[in-house]
Structure 1
Amino acid sequence: MAVGGSDGRTGYGVCRVRRATGAVLLLVGLTGGCAGLSARGADAAAAAEAFESAVRGGDHAAACFLLAPQTRSELMESRGAGCAAALGEARLPAPGARRGVQVYGRQAMVTFEADTLFLSQFPGSWRVVAAGCVPEPGEPYNCRVKGV
């Protein structure tokens, strides 16, 4: 899904992912990669794992509920379908085991063996703002699902 360009790396949604990534990396540098998860980190990880589990189980309606509102809207608009159908068409990778959770403020990045999710904290819950993200050297993450 491209936002502003055909390569999927331009536009406001990717800029947000780039800023979130920079903030997360700053936090990791300051904390030295603390071993234990904070309560907020555990909550972000739980939301990411619930999203991945719903997608893998084919329960796209449940996965859509875990998307941030702007991400859900962009997904439906870009694919011209309801959220559940559009999420199924996105062909998100099977995540594999969770590798890490990094939280800074109201933003989080949860990495799996084959997927990275970016989340934001909303009142009462963490929501996925980008999924199916892969790092590209010298570039922001390229995400299959993201908000604008």
Structure 2
Amino acid sequence: MRAVLASVLVAAALAGCAQRQGGRAAAAATAVLASAQRGDGAGACAGLVPSAAQSLETEGRSCAEEIVKLGLRSGPADGGEVWGDAARVRVGADTVFLFRWGDGWKVAAAGCRPRAGRPYECRVRT
């Protein structure tokens, strides 16, 4: 009986940790999208992993200039799903993928839409 109770308590603690991490990932995702939506390109780019920010730097234009042009929109987010150091958060009709970065989360891909039988199509990607 004690072993069963201990197992239940461990599972509950792990679920609580996953929910907290999902909430943190969702907060990071919505912060990037909200920054882009209000025209704060520097703030939005600060929430991206470096390779995602670099992917937007083309033809002499900065990440900050380009991310606001993408039309990314923030909105209600689901609780997020976390798998180790990776997470997926749905914000409205879009999906955001994140990586654990230091003690927080950074966006690796944003403005992503599923495609039948193919990988997601993302406006921001690593």
Same fold (TM over 0.5): yes
Structure-1 separation of matches of 2:17 and 2:114? 24
Question: CA 1:68/1:100 → structure 2, altered by over 3 Å: closer, same or farther?
Answer: same
Contact 1:117 1:130 in 2 (8 A): yes
Residue 97 of structure 1 deviates from its aligned partner by 2.0
109, 120, 123: which one aligns with 1:130: 109
Question: CA 1:120/1:96 → structure 2, altered by over 3 Å: closer, same or farther?
Answer: same
Q: How does 1:49-60 map to 2 (within 5 A)?
A: 49-60=30-41
Secondary structure of the structure 1 residue equivalent to 2:124: strand
May I ask how many residue pairs the two structures share in their alignment? 112
Structure-2 separation of matches of 1:106 and 1:35? 16
The answer for unaligned runs of 5 or more in structure 2 is 1-14
The residue that corresponds to 1:143 in the other structure is: 122
Structure-1 separation of matches of 2:111 and 2:120? 9
Residue 89 of structure 1 deviates from its aligned partner by 2.3
Q: Which runs of 4+ in 1 moved over 3 A?
A: 34-37
Structure-2 separation of matches of 1:117 and 1:67? 11
Q: How does 1:1-148 map to 2 (within 5 A)?
A: 38-77=19-58, 80-92=60-72, 94-147=73-126
Contact 1:95 1:114 in 2 (8 A): no
Q: Percent identity?
A: 38
Secondary structure of the structure 2 residue equivalent to 1:99: coil
Residue 125 of structure 1 deviates from its aligned partner by 1.9
For normalisation by structure 1, the TM-score amounts to 0.68
Secondary structure of the structure 2 residue equivalent to 1:121: strand
- Residue type at the aligned position of 2:37: R
The answer for unaligned runs of 5 or more in structure 1 is 1-33
Contact 2:47 2:106 in 1 (8 A): yes
Structure-1 separation of matches of 2:116 and 2:16? 26
Greater relative contact order (Cα < 8 A, sep 6+): 1
Structure-1 separation of matches of 2:108 and 2:80? 15
For normalisation by structure 2, the TM-score amounts to 0.79
Q: For 1:3-41, what per-residue CA distance to the aligned partner results, in whole angstroms no more than 9, with x for missing partners?
A: xxxxxxxxxxxxxxxxxxxxxxxxxxxxxxx79962211
Secondary structure of the structure 1 residue equivalent to 2:71: coil
Contact 1:41 1:101 in 2 (8 A): yes
